[in-house]
Structure 1
């Protein structure tokens, strides 16, 4: 008698009522609504946004979490930066639908993003976020103390993770964007719907 080979897949799907996949063009409106709800409509004035304005995210590092019905419930992107002369990625924003709190959507997005970044040969990831939350993924302030952002920020929230040992050794100075410039396009339409969870990374 032939054993059923699809059982493990079914169990995985039941255990995780969401999936992590590459962001799609069709996700844009829902993603903008999610970010507006998490960060407020003034999010475009925040310090980290200056590293993203007019730039494309790092290739393969725009991820979405979606429920089984196709609804977007989480998002994360990573961006090319120079961290005091060291090539790195800046992670953010990370946002999760408040209705999915307790499902570890944020953790799943983080782990996938870091795994993809490492596979693609990136040496380090930097973010501005809550140290107690990001410590579980290996982020610390050990090598970011001499780095700065183009605007006001809380020093203790500037964290780094080396994917390659020594990638942030001697990092000093301003973090600046180095990603590909975007072509001029019409502004993305945004919607405002249900409440979302308070995000961890700006």
Structure 2
């Protein structure tokens, strides 16, 4: 497995994998409204390629604001169906978080299941509101969220 930073040249393969994993309707999700017109944080986004050069998995980060605070929105993370169950998702998630920590990112949030993401340190964020119809119980964060509340809006 080869892991590298996502580049513009990877974009079409990444989008094809996301369509495979989530279907083209994925862009209707509320989190996509936070991504529209905002480029991903390419220094944090990773692509895992198999031995034949195929895209096996991806993780992306997007700049957002929560109230007056900067944060990174993690997602999507996708693993090709033929590579699921190999631990690649956990590897990409930890690698992405490690990269964000080195880059000085103070806080990361995502929408997901706490039982899964809790093993990476994510906990429920109270007072942080994603665009509707996001279930507030699925809004999770890691690192410095003390005193951070408000609506999640597009970053720059």
Task: Tell me how far apart the structure 2 counterparts of residues 152 and 138 of structure 1 sit (CA, whole Å).
Answer: 25
- Which one has the bigger strand percentage? 2
For residues 31-70 of structure 1, the C-alpha deviation after alignment (integer angstroms, 9 at most, x for no partner) is: 1111112221111111000111110112401110110110
- For residues 22-171 of structure 1, the aligned pairs below 5 Å read 22-141=5-124, 144-162=125-143, 167-171=144-148
* 1:5 alignment counterpart: none
The higher relative CO (CA closer than 8 Å, separation ≥ 6) is in 1
Offset at residue 95 of structure 1 (A) = 0.6
- Higher CA-based Rg: 1
Report how many aligned residue pairs link the two structures: 156
Equivalent pair of 1:20/1:108 in contact (CA under 8 Å): no
* 2:153 alignment counterpart: 176
Tell me the TM-score normalized by structure 1: 0.74
- For residues 2-41 of structure 1, the aligned pairs below 5 Å read 18-41=1-24
Equivalent pair of 1:146/1:173 in contact (CA under 8 Å): yes
CA-atom RMSD, angstroms?
1.2
Structure 1: gaps spanning 5 or more residues: 1-17, 180-202
2:76 is paired with a residue whose SS is: coil
Offset at residue 84 of structure 1 (A) = 2.3
